[in-house]
Every structure is written in C-alpha cells, then in structure tokens.
Amino acid sequence: MKNKRKTKKSKQGVDKFELINPNAAGIDIGADFHYVAIPKGRDPEGKDVRNFGTFTADLYTLAHWLKECQIETVAMESTSVYWIPLFEILDSEGIAVNLVNPQFIKNVPGRKTDVLDCQWIQRLHTYGLLRGSFRPEDQICVLRGYLRQRSMLVSYASHHIQHMQKAMEQMNIKLNQVVRDITGVTGMGIIRAIISRERNPKKLAQLRNPRCKNDAKTIAKALHGNYRVEHLFSLKQAVELYDTYHEKIVDCDRKIEQYLSSFEDRSNGRSLGKAHKSNRGKNKPSFDARSHLYRITGIDLTAVDGLDTLTVLKIISETGLDMSLWPTEKHFGSWLGLSPGSKISGGKVISSKTKKCANRVAHALRLAAYSLQRSKSAIGAFFRRMKAKKGPAKAITATAYKLARIIYNMLKNGTEYKDILRFAGF
C-alpha cells in the first residue's frame, strides 16, 4: 500500500509542473520511420501518436498534420543525419524545432519502444526540460557544408598518399627516407617520372629540388628498386586518384570563394594590413581567403598566432559570426568542451576534467595550439609554461581554451589582436 501511495503522489507532482510549451510535440527520429507524439485530444481521430515514413512527401504530411493539431514547437533527437531533412522542412513550415542531444534524453527505466520514446520527448519538451543544441543560421550552415565537404576530400586524398608509400615500399624504393615529404616538389617529380617508365636512379635523382637536404647521390641510392608491374600499376592509380581529389578540392575552393562573396561586408572600408606570418601549405585554400575573412568579420583573426586561414574558415563555418549566443567567453569555452569541468559534491571538488566533446572547432583549436610549441609569441610562451606545469596534453587544451576566448572577444567586440611580446618589441 505504501508503494502505491508514493507512486500516486509522484504522478500528481509531475502533473502539477508548469506547462512551458503547451503546444509541443516530440519526435523519435529513425532511418525508415519517424514517430510523433502530440498532446492528448489534438488529433480529430484520437491518434496522439502517429508514425510517418521518411520520404519527402511523408515529411510534408507530417508537418501539415502538426499544423492542423496546432503544434507550435517540436523536440527531436539529433540522430545521425536522419534529422536534417525533417528539421529543414519543419523550419520552412514555420514550426520551431528544438534539436536535442540524445544523451540529454535518457528514457525512464523500463520498456523501450519508439512510441514511448516520442511520448517521453514530448512530455519533457512540454515542461521545458529540454535544452536545444546549437545550430547556426542558414547562411552559415551552407558555408559549413562546403567546408566539411572540403575536409572530407582532403582526408580521402591523404589515404592515397599512404597507397603511394605502400607501393614504393613493396618495390623497395626508399624515397621517404631521403625526402621529407613524398608529395613535395622532389617527391612527386620522381614518382611521376617512375610512372613514365624512367628507371635510371641517377636520372631520377637529378629531379631533386635545389633546397632538398640530401644530395643526388644519396637519393639515387634510395631509388634502386624492384620495379614489378603490379606494384607500378598500384602506384600509378594512387597518383591518379590523388590528383583527382586535389582537382575536386580546387573546385570546392572556387565554390567557397564564390559563396563568401555573398556575405555582408563588415570591414567598413578599412584595408587589410600585411600578414605577419606565412600561410603556406598544400591543403590551404587556393584563393585569398584572408581578404574574404577580413571583409565578413571586420577583423583579422589570422593575426592570432596559431590561426591560419583554413582554421579560421572552419571556426566561422561552425560557430557563425554572432557571439551573443553565448553570454560570456566561459560559456563559449564550455560549449567547445575546453573549459575546466566543475564536478563538485559536498563542497569538495571531485574532478575538474574537461568534458568529452566531439566538437570540430575544439579539434581545430587543439591543432592550432599544438603548432605553437616553438612560437616566439605570447601564446607560445603560455603553452610552454603550461607544458612545464601540467604536461603536454593539458597544455594543448589550456592553450586551445585561451585561443577560444581570444576569438570570442574579437568577434563579439570587433577588437584587433595584438601580441604582447611582438607589441613590446621582443
């Protein structure tokens, strides 16, 4: 009897919660079907839970049904990429969509079905207990799509570098031991000559770039190989695929440059100063991205040590330009998963580790922080100081967090970055 009374009281307590979103629906996202739950009594046929297919016509039927039931806001999980078409259609139909991290929607213990999941999501959203995930405005989402496509192409191209290396190892060609980068001027010149049926090591070694550290004699010694037909065929195909992907990267760069031209000019006619650092690299954009970034942001983010044009493009495409969405720089760092954690119980700090977060911006900032190990800038000095205190892993995270705070303040306040050491004349 006691257990029954407790259950009854708890149910009454839940029902007494304030209804934050009375016209709310919950959707359980799937690959083949979407299950939708709405408040009771809204559907003329009495179907409070319905399932819809994932074809485009079905998604529009779902949206029209929600509007007929006077639904104003919807909560759904960000499951793989299945939520994207439905999100865009509901948004175009004027229905507010609350995209929620699946980790934040833990179902009640007991049986788990798609029907129970969508009802649980709907109930939590009705009481305002769900916090929506960040999604930038549509203009930034388009840019993000282009940049992610470009990153995928770069990743695929790198796989074929490994295929080239494997084919040469099988022929016992030790090019990687005498050339720092086999895709550099010397490396690719020699590889293309091998594909063109040149086998004389001395002639191949003469293709070395004058800036190459090893002399022609050393390189020729490494190019004595067992040129088997099947391995040469593998090498040829790897080079062709590598070239193909780089052609697609150039096409992607043209599309990105064209799209960046559509952004509003925030530079107020100010001219961009001379870059204080080089921006070289095989995977860097093939256009003047620095000028475009200065025009759309009004500030030169590449002036920050560790940030090149590609890194800034990635950051802008993921976060957008409006930093007011995060109240403070600490909120921004917490969203990135870079700020110290706050696991406290009984007044005692149990852990201050950063949370696990697969954030693309955080990854880019960590790579930028790693590049500052030998930098003579103030941020580089900070990295070395933290490395001596906390070790390399924590130093990278701390420096990435510092970069995040700098970017936040620059974008929010429109202030230019000045390195302390460089400004003091060191």
- For 78-128, what is each residue's pLDDT tens digit? 878 899 999 999 999 999 999 998 877 766 566 678 888 898 999 999 998
How many angstroms separate the CA atoms of 150 and 248, rounded?
8
Share in percent of the chain as helix, strand, coil (round to 5): 55, 10, 40
At how many degrees (to 10) do helices 360-370 and 309-319 cross? Answer: 160
Record the tokens describing residue 59, joined without a space: 């998604």
Instruction: Please say whether the beta carbons of 143 and 260 come within 8 A.
Output: yes
How many angstroms separate the CA atoms of 406 and 97, rounded?
31
| Long-range pairs for 143-152: beta carbons < 8 A, 24 or more residues apart | 143/256, 143/259, 143/260, 143/316, 143/317, 144/317, 144/318, 146/252, 146/255, 146/256, 146/259, 146/317, 147/256, 147/313, 147/314, 147/317, 148/317, 149/252, 150/249, 150/252, 150/253, 150/256, 151/314
Match 């010694």 to its residue by tokens: 221
pLDDT at 5 over 70: no
pLDDT at residue number 3: 52
pLDDT at residue number 418: 86
How many angstroms separate the CA atoms of 399 and 354, rounded?
13
What mean pLDDT is reported for the chain? 88
Close Cβ partners of 247 (under 8 Å, ≥ 6 residues apart): none
**What amino acid occupies position 222?**
A
CATH T-level topology, domain 19-126: Nucleotidyltransferase; domain 5 (3.30.420)
- pLDDT tens-digit profile of 229-278? 999 999 999 999 999 999 999 999 999 999 999 999 998 878 887 776 66
At how many degrees (to 10) do helices 289-297 and 309-319 cross? Answer: 40
**3-state SS, residue 3:** helix
How many angstroms separate the CA atoms of 25 and 153, rounded?
39
**3-state SS, residue 335:** helix
- Closest to 262 measured CA to CA, from 150, 92, 143, 91: 143
- pLDDT tens-digit profile of 53-76? 999 999 999 999 999 999 999 999
Q: Of how many residues is the chain composed?
A: 426
pTM, two decimal places: 0.86
- Closest to 340 measured CA to CA, from 351, 329, 332, 352: 352
